[in-house]
Structure formats: structure tokens, C-alpha cells
Amino acid sequence: MGIQFTKNRYGKLQTLLMLVVVLAIVSGSLDSSAGMPGLDKKVAFSPGERFVYRGRWGVLRAGEVTLEVLPKETINGLETYHFTMITKTNDVVDLLYKIRERQDSYIDANITHSILYKKKTESKHPRDIIVNFNWAKREATYANFGEKTAPIHILPGTFDPLALFFILRLQDFRENSVIEIPVTDGNMNIGVKATVAKRETITVEEKSYDTFAVTPDMERLENVVKKSDDPQLKIWFTADDKKIPVRIQSKVGIVSFIFELVSVAP
């Protein structure tokens, strides 16, 4: 099936994949039945987990992001993990670009692919997005405020943008290695190549962490967008079984944001 893309839509997916860069003031094929190569046997997350991050743009506080693993749900007869991310700008940033956003990701209990993805945004550019994954046809269908676009063909083992954040936590991090994961937002397919750097100790909220820095490189599979157009994202995960993301740095052009962990539950 031929897939048509626009640069504008690609920009939207870039923003999704950057996870929390939505606060910006300026606007390998996997076997879906066998799990992911390099996947840790011990699942790093479980229902009830909740992380809170505080964002800043230079010296300015930008807002807050909450990542949470909710109780498992059954969708179309399938047991799923349910992830959510809630993003909100603070009072200062609200004056420039107010955002209240919630994303929900549902992946199968075997952690092999996404089942459903939702995104609802209250801002100057509101969104009410639902992406349904049809694995019998290997298709994803995007809808915004109920208006659907034509289904697109997806690769086996494809995840949604929010799920990517959790799937990275299941990988066996090794220095100077590269992890490949296919991702879609229902509009297009993206090949994510995440490079794992050397271990390093960083300080967040006066606490030291032994971490791996992971840099996801997001390329449209058709490779028709210039490299210079790509955003930059870097995530520091703890070098233990939990692989907790303690710092997230994102950059688009000259605009750079840093989000650091301020609260963990349980």
C-alpha cells in the first residue's frame, strides 16, 4: 500500500516522539508474536508506578509532566498495559502557549505491539486523537475529532509514540549499542534508532544517579526529510532493573528544554 506524507504531519509526529517537548513555546522489522530482540526478562514497570517531572526552559520553569502506569485493561478481548502522560504548562508559560494534554497508550500484555493510542490537547491547536491498530490487516487508523484518515500499513512490532518511552525501559542497555523500534502515530511510520552512550553519573534534585544516556534518532522510513529538520532528544535512564528516566533533554532548533524527576511512586 502506498503511503503519502506531508512535512507538516511529520512535524507533528516529531513533537509526539519527543514526549514532553510539547511544552515548547514555539511551535528493523520486529516479530509481533515473539517479542522484541534484546528485551529484558524482568519487566521494568508495573501498575501503580508514577513519575513526576518539572520542566525548565533556560532559567524559566516551564511546567510539569506526569508519567503513570495505570491498572491493566481489556480492549477487544485483549489484556493490555495502560500508560498515560499528562502535560501542563505553568502560569508563566500559559501566557505564551497554554497546554493541557493527556496521552494514553495501550499495548498488549506480551509487550509486542500497540493496541490503541489516544491524545487529547487543550491549547491554541486542540486535538482529540484516536489511533486504532488492526493487527489482522496490519494497519493503523488515525482520527481527530472523529474525522478519520485512510488506514496506513504498519510494520510488525510497531508501537505508538508514548509506548516508546516505556519500551525503551525494557531494553538491555549496553554501551555504544543501538536499539531499533518501529513507531507510528497513525499518519506515518517512523524508524527509531536509539543509541546508548557510556554510563555516567548525573545529579538530579541533589541526588546522584548511575545512568545510561539514550538518544533516540527518529527517521521517517522513506527518509525524505532533511536531517537538519529533526528534533533532538536525550534521556538518562538509571542503570538498574527499573531503568527509571531521571532526566529528559529536548531541543528543537535553538529552543532547549530539560525535564527532571522530582517525585516517584510507589
Q: Euclidean distance between the first and final Cα of the chain, in Å?
A: 45
pLDDT tens digit sequence for 199-223? 999 999 999 999 999 998 866 544 3
pLDDT at residue number 43: 85
More confidently predicted of 73 and 28: 73
Structural domain includes residue 61: yes
Report, as an integer, the average pLDDT of 225-236.
64
Report, as an integer, the average pLDDT of 56-65.
88
Structural domain includes residue 28: yes
| pLDDT greater than 50 at residue 77 | yes
pLDDT at residue number 185: 93
Which of 158, 156, 163 lies closest to 184 in space, CA to CA? 158
More confidently predicted of 66 and 19: 66
Structural domain includes residue 2: no
The three cell numbers locating residue 30: 520486529
User: Cβ atoms within 10 A of the Cβ of 160, count?
Assistant: 29
**Is the distance from CB of 182 to CB of 159 less than 8 angstroms?**
yes
Structural domain includes residue 39: yes
Span of 44-58, 120-134, 241-255 with lowest mean pLDDT: 241-255
Structural domain includes residue 235: yes
Which residues lie closer than 8 Å to 26 by C-beta, 6 or more apart? 252, 253, 255
pLDDT at residue number 242: 94
CA quadruple 66, 59, 253, 258: dihedral sign: negative
**Is the distance from CB of 89 to CB of 97 less than 8 angstroms?**
yes
Report, as an integer, the average pLDDT of 57-65.
88
Structural domain includes residue 1: no
**Is the distance from CB of 122 to CB of 99 less than 8 angstroms?**
yes
Domain count, the chain: 1
pLDDT at residue number 115: 98
pLDDT tens digit sequence for 140-153? 999 999 999 999 99
197 confidence band (pLDDT: 50, 70, 90): very high
Domain of 232, in residue numbers: 7-265
More confidently predicted of 125 and 151: 151
pLDDT at residue number 251: 76
Buried-exposed string 91-116: b where 16+ CB fall within 10 A, e elsewhere: eebeeebebebebbbbbbeebbbbbb
Q: How many helices (H) and strands (E) does the chain have?
A: 3, 15
Structural domain includes residue 122: yes
pLDDT at residue number 231: 56
d(CA 154, CA 189): 7
